[in-house]
Structure 1
Amino acid sequence: MSLEPPRVRSRTRVAVVTGVAVLLLVLAVVLPARDGGVEKVRRPETAVPEVPSAPVVAPRAPEVREARAASAPIPANVSGEALSAALNEERVVLASSTFIERLEMDRPWACAGGQVSLAGRVGGAPESGALYRWVWPGREAAAELHPGARLQWRAPAEPGTYFVRFQVCKDLGGRRVGVLAEELLRIEVRDCDDDGAAREEGQLRVDIIQRANGAFLFRAVSAESESLSGHAWDFGDGSTAFTSGPEVTHAYDTRALDVRTFTVRLLAGRGEGAALSATAFVSVRGQPPSDEPLPATLALSRARVGAEEWRSEVSVEVPEPGVVTWEHVERSMIHWNDQVDAYTLPWREVITVEAETGRGGLRGFVTVRPSELAVTVKRVVDVLHGRDEAGKAVSLSWASFKREAAPMAPSVEARLPLK
């Protein structure tokens, strides 16, 4: 028989029941939710766009693997042997530690008849005298060729699957061309109407303004700019940034003496819907240290000769004891819609030489006639390429032409048919 008073026993039972109830409530809140259990209350998380790290076009190894993954057979006319024969070259494959890290595009596909930006990245030990180039089957000629690591490729008018080959080569003299490394890029060309193409290209893009050698201003441009919640930038050199506004500045290391191409990726978050993405390319030309003389210098003066001719006086000096051999001029025509057409010309066809001062130095002039250009061309930029005695690339650039204003759209009256 218990000696505890009944009131005490009652209080004890109440305390035990209350303690068990509190314990069950705590376990229901703390433990993860299970089937049929009480779900844990979670705080809402703020979505922050992540900096994209994957390349636009993943690196591919052998062409056999690429052919299996492409689901479309690789035509015989894009093989290295076929393109060399179309260019009337003698192809020689050279052993080299140079390799192609990856090929990239500024968008995953191209519109029929439109342009797409391509860029190649090369790794391994640098080879003296190595040249970069893009080759592909031509529409008017058997093959087309564009020098350099970047290419504004004009898609054919017919939709389909097309291939462009990127090569690292050496000139072996005569018609012999040595191939150090090469890779094939597959491009899907789609049939998109004007509205669809404009809508796709106009969602988000990156405008680039170069402020100094290696220093750039990047600006995100979108019709939805007011609703974008943040901008995550990847500058392609291992540096990243996050900005609430659409602009960011970045400076690249210019101590290396070669020309490097960087891929700039932007991911912009928005309140509703999936994040927007854009890709752009920048090329950075290395500078020697300030105590090391430049291999060549350029002095330029411009004069507009009436309305029919723009003339640039060019003076190139090569300090002793250096010697530079000039090879070609790469001319880029920048349109008002920021599209770029680039092609290569013999340098003496661009520069009218009045005097040669030795070791690669010269005085001359460059003329551009506006009547020879489409009205959509905003600016013409020339880059003179050559090599010094050690085989290192030397280049000088200048603007040969610039329009002050974009062409005006015709008025409504002008578009009406004549009566």
Structure 2
Amino acid sequence: MAPEPVAPGPVLPGQSQTPPPERIPPAATGEALSSALNEERVVLASSAVIEGIDTDRPWVCTGEAMTLSARVAGTPEPDAVMRWVWPGAETGAELHPGARLPWRAPATPGRYFVRFQLCKDLGGRRVGVLAERVAAIDVRACGQDEGQARALRIEATQQGPSAFAFRAVSPHPATTYAWDFGDGSSAATTEPTATHAYALPSPGEPDVRVLTVRLSARGDGGERTATAFVQLRGPPPSDTPPRARLQMERVVARTADEGWRSKVQVDVPEGSAVTWERVERLTVSWDDQVDVQTHPWRELITVEEDLGRGGFRGHVTVRLSDVRPEVKQISDVLHGRDTTGEEVSLSWSAFKAEPARPSPLPAERPPAK
């Protein structure tokens, strides 16, 4: 099996870094972590991209804390969840939500691997992985004066919804400070302080944005660098009810002539209306390869009753011819738009195969006399 991509360490402006291929330990693979979390891992096709993972220091001493932050790009996926997973010392896996991770190094030095994922709940124990990336962390056994206490660091204080004050902290004096605020803005100061106001997330952007702040301090002792992260939150969500709700009968019945049939009901609340456009059918094989096919929504969904405003009651069918031996799961994503043009999507699992049980070995025949 080819090694998984590992995110490089922090990269300063003007630098480039391409890490050599690195093999992920068995306990840190996506399959092992999903098993430890009692999940069924399903790899989904997605346009979401994890551009990289930043850390606030290039390495860390045993027992010390460091912060990691993921940079996400591409088209946002509805209902996508950001999370970090990694092997636990006492449990099979640890989990932390969000784009930023405060991670404490274990007591044993070595190379450790933390995995960032964009996921979607597919119902039951099924978790769809839209994108993921692994960060390798170098944990060292440090002497008394080798820890982070004497390293340059950034203290960030939020002074308003989007305003921050930054202070460089280090026992080594510096004469110039070059600040990169992570949004394309920068500043140069002779004092170890700086302030900056960010633009809040716009409608359609993620509710929470994490930006990477980098500092380069120059003095008699040469140049030192530090990294910190700030988190911006958009306006709080309104009390507006969801634009569409899904109810599905998860007991899937197999019919002799058609295949597997599931009952689906979509309710659209008063004051809203949805026009459905298409259904993406994701066929996942046992080796986690994904085939995506797009159909007109009424081609895959049989509407039995129109409930108004885009709501309906009907059923979805997976034909016998679509369920080949290599197919593990089939999921559907219903896409449409409301009256404002915003996209609305609902998803469900239309078929799930059970793992094949190995056939018992035939009993050995006694040797011929």
TM-score computed with the length of structure 2 as normaliser: 0.59
**d(CA) in 1 for partners of 2:69 and 2:17?**
13
Decide whether aligned partners of structure 1 residues 132 and 216 sit closer, same or farther in structure 2, where only a CA change above 3 A counts.
same
**Is 1:154 matched up with 2:104?**
yes
**d(CA) in 2 for partners of 1:182 and 1:148?**
13
Aligned letter for 1:219?
Answer: R
**d(CA) in 1 for partners of 2:159 and 2:216?**
23
Which residue is 2:139 aligned to? 189
Which residue is 2:115 aligned to? 165
Structure 1 or 2: larger strand share? 2
Displacement after TM superposition at 1:180 (Å): 0.4
Aligned letter for 1:261?
Answer: V
Displacement after TM superposition at 1:77 (Å): 1.2
Which residue is 1:254 aligned to? 200
Decide whether aligned partners of structure 1 residues 255 and 81 sit closer, same or farther in structure 2, where only a CA change above 3 A counts.
closer
Decide whether aligned partners of structure 1 residues 52 and 141 sit closer, same or farther in structure 2, where only a CA change above 3 A counts.
closer
Aligned letter for 1:168?
Answer: L
Which residue is 1:340 aligned to? none
Aligned letter for 1:158?
Answer: T
**d(CA) in 1 for partners of 2:18 and 2:83?**
18
Which residue is 1:278 aligned to? 226
Aligned letter for 1:207?
Answer: E
Q: Secondary structure at the match of 1:81?
A: helix
**d(CA) in 1 for partners of 2:241 and 2:37?**
34
Decide whether aligned partners of structure 1 residues 136 and 101 sit closer, same or farther in structure 2, where only a CA change above 3 A counts.
same
Matches within 5 A, 1:192-207: 192-197=142-147, 200-207=148-155
Q: Is the 8 A contact 2:200 2:232 kept in 1?
A: yes
Matches within 5 A, 1:271-310: 272-287=220-235, 295-296=237-238
Aligned letter for 1:187?
Answer: I
- 1:123 is matched with which residue: 73, 76, 85? 73
Which residue is 1:231 aligned to? 177
- 2:215 is matched with which residue: 241, 244, 266? 266
Displacement after TM superposition at 1:146 (Å): 0.5
**Is 1:66 matched up with 2:31?**
no
Query: What residue ranges of structure 2 are gaps of 5+ in the alignment?
Result: 1-10, 244-342, 346-369
Decide whether aligned partners of structure 1 residues 295 and 322 sit closer, same or farther in structure 2, where only a CA change above 3 A counts.
farther
Which residue is 1:209 aligned to? 157
Per-residue CA deviation, residues 341-376 of structure 1 (Å, 9 max, x unaligned), is xxxxxxxxxxxxxxxxxxxxxxxxxxxxxxxxxxxx
Q: Secondary structure at the match of 1:250?
A: strand
**Is 1:240 matched up with 2:200?**
no
- Aligned pairs, number: 233
**d(CA) in 2 for partners of 1:254 and 1:279?**
21
**d(CA) in 2 for partners of 1:249 and 1:222?**
18
Q: Which has the higher contact order (CA 8 A, sep 6+)?
A: 2
Q: Is the 8 A contact 2:37 2:93 kept in 1?
A: yes
**d(CA) in 2 for partners of 1:295 and 1:78?**
35
Which residue is 1:53 aligned to? 13
**d(CA) in 2 for partners of 1:204 and 1:221?**
6
Decide whether aligned partners of structure 1 residues 241 and 213 sit closer, same or farther in structure 2, where only a CA change above 3 A counts.
same
Which residue is 1:142 aligned to? 92
Q: Secondary structure at the match of 2:34?
A: helix
Q: Secondary structure at the match of 1:280?
A: strand
Q: Secondary structure at the match of 2:130?
A: strand
Per-residue CA deviation, residues 101-155 of structure 1 (Å, 9 max, x unaligned), is 0011100111111111111111101111111111011111111111111111111
- 1:221 is matched with which residue: 163, 169, 172? 169
Decide whether aligned partners of structure 1 residues 137 and 255 sit closer, same or farther in structure 2, where only a CA change above 3 A counts.
closer
Displacement after TM superposition at 1:273 (Å): 2.9
Displacement after TM superposition at 1:322 (Å): 3.5
Per-residue CA deviation, residues 45-76 of structure 1 (Å, 9 max, x unaligned), is xxxxxx94158x9576xxxx531xxxxx4211
TM-score computed with the length of structure 1 as normaliser: 0.53
Decide whether aligned partners of structure 1 residues 147 and 255 sit closer, same or farther in structure 2, where only a CA change above 3 A counts.
closer
Which residue is 2:31 aligned to? 81
Q: Secondary structure at the match of 1:275?
A: strand
**d(CA) in 1 for partners of 2:179 and 2:77?**
32
Decide whether aligned partners of structure 1 residues 85 and 54 sit closer, same or farther in structure 2, where only a CA change above 3 A counts.
farther
**d(CA) in 2 for partners of 1:280 and 1:213?**
18
Decide whether aligned partners of structure 1 residues 59 and 128 sit closer, same or farther in structure 2, where only a CA change above 3 A counts.
farther
Displacement after TM superposition at 1:224 (Å): 2.5
**What percentage of aligned pairs have identical amino acids?**
54
Query: What residue ranges of structure 1 are gaps of 5+ in the alignment?
Result: 1-50, 68-72, 288-293, 297-317, 325-388, 392-419
Decide whether aligned partners of structure 1 residues 260 and 202 sit closer, same or farther in structure 2, where only a CA change above 3 A counts.
same
Aligned letter for 1:151?
Answer: L
Q: Secondary structure at the match of 2:222?
A: coil
